[in-house]
Amino acid sequence: MNTSAIRHRSTFDMCYAADDDTAVIRLQTGKDVDKACIICSDPFIAELTRKKAWYGQKHPMRPLMELEEKQIWVFRTKPKFKRLQYYFEVESGGEKYLVYDNKVIPADSPDKSSRQCFKLPWINPSDVIKPPAWVKDTVWYQIMPDRFCRSSPESDERFEEWGRFKPFKFHVMYGGDIKGITQRLPYLHKLGINGIYLTPIFLSSTYHRYNTFDYEMIDPILGTDDDMKEFVDKAHSLGIRIMLDGVFNHCGTEFFAWKDVFEKGKASPYFDWFFINDETAIQKNDHDTSDGRYFTFSFWAGMPKLNTNNPEVIKYFCDVCSHWVRDWDIDGIRFDVGDEISHTFLRELRRTLKPIKNDVFLLGEIWFDSLPWLYGAEYDSVMNYPTCGCINGLHREESMSSTDFMYSLNTCLSMYPEQITEVLFNFLDTHDTTRIFEECSGNTDLLIQKLALLLTLPGTPCIYYGTEIALKGRSVSDNRRCMPWDEIDKGLHNEIFSKVSKLISVRHSLPQLKSPDIEFTHSSEHPRLLNYTRSAQNCAGRIGVYANAEKCGIELPSVGRVIYSDLYENNILQPNGVIIYEK
């Protein structure tokens, strides 16, 4: 047995409370392990029964998910007294080992000393990770306000002609505004969207507004406080939640605190709001900070990095966010560059906002394994770049099989407790990536297949504006084109819009698609035929998905009731085709 592959710690990824009553225990082993059991009971059972030593009952563990070289096992229980002590027994070809906190030993080992059990000390309700319940039922839509909709059709010398294609520069604006988004809420409602994520809306010198000048003032180009309140109210009346982008890692050079430091140097009371290494070179006229004179986002001189360890900075932004939530009634905040903000800042901000609105959604922009931010005291979820890469990798790499896809996805799903998996923020593209239609090389059938995967995999899905009509855009400057409302209003994109809308409707209607559970089946004859099944507790039926990444049509077995299909007829699933069915 490969005992070096065995891993368990009593930490939130492997030992956690799914709710106030349910304990979930996961064990990782090598794939040579045939059977895994847990031996568990209350840590004080010996005192209750007057036994000399603690003892536990043996329960089989269920295979949960398979990784490339590992197997994850799971056991769920409702301990009567909210606590659990345990160890494991694993078996491979008749060979048995016992897994303790401090050692892995043969089951027949005569060594009875210093065997330390694992322990779940107590399920405290306040420690149970509880993301807002509404998030797992949400289909998001990301909007970059400058490029979505301009409320006034009149020409304005401040703006480029709407939709004119040209190499975009950061200071070129097209005049999209909040009223324009409000006008198009019926369009989003028809699409099936019930969550909108807005990129920054505050005063800035750029169209993207990630160099914020004033966190309390909506950019006048976008509108007013009243426009914002009207937008949120009308969105809420349609059942649509609103999430704002919070840029707290850095600011723009016109932010009041940076301006004061720029003028006064160390004499400024805001000097410690930033990371300044050479005050004599602050005013150096250069576009980058590779000389290290002060820290910035990346090396952009126009985005000085905020010291989110400073109590004054923390209080300032806690007050700012409280205003957003209390006065505008927003439902979530997405934290730009969320991995560089201090944990101290995030914990305090959560403590501040949750009493104002207990189901406000806090989302971190982190591109990798994010467990340190997800213990329940900071973010509710993170942007799930690994799953985005998994979906896109299926067609980038023609050698990628359905088994490879499963390994890649399961690696993502094994990182977090199930309640976080349910709300991982999934997407195919964003303002920071190539548009998914470009990834599909202009193939709308492939676009629909990828959207079907996005909408049927665990997590809360987000669609980048324009993806529902196959908007193009490759580079970062090109992936932020204007929405072609003239074409949309003329019905030129009705066919693909209808397909995407139907997929979103399927997502909303099936509770199985909102659970963390997924099971794969593979075909040796067709290694790039993707097939998985979704199930949920308290749901009798199971939902299956087939997606054909092969270059030929594939005859499928009888699948039961077809809920959605594209490129599927007479039991033949064509290349890039997909079906969703009830088993």
State the catalytic residues: 336, 365
Q: What is the rounded CA–CA span in Å between residue 17 and residue 27?
A: 15
CA-nearest of 548, 579, 582 to 565 is 579
Write the DSSP assignment of 262-290 as a string of letters.
HHHGGGSTTGGGB-BS-GGGTT---SB-T
Question: Considering just the CA atoms, what is the radius of gyration of the chain in Å?
Answer: 26
Q: What angle do CA 90, 94, 97 make, to 5 degrees?
A: 30
What contacts 540, CB < 8 A, 6 or more positions away?
none
d(CA 321, CA 488): 36
Collapsed DSSP state (helix, strand, coil) of residue 450: helix
Q: What CA–CA distance (Å, rounded) separates 458 from 305?
A: 34
Q: How far apart are CA 389 and CA 325, in angstroms?
A: 33
For the record, the structure tokens of 508 come out as: 């909303």
Produce one character per residue of 483-516: b if its CB has 16 or more CB atoms within 10 Å, e if not.
bbbeebeeeebeebbebbbebbbbbbebbbbbbb
Q: 331 vs 233, 458, 530, CA distance in Å? A: 12, 22, 36
Burial class (CB in 10 A: 0-12, 13-18, 19+), 115: middle
343: phi then psi, degrees, rounded to nearest 5: -60, -35
* 87 three-class SS: strand
| Gap between the Cα atoms of 364 and 367, Å rounded | 9
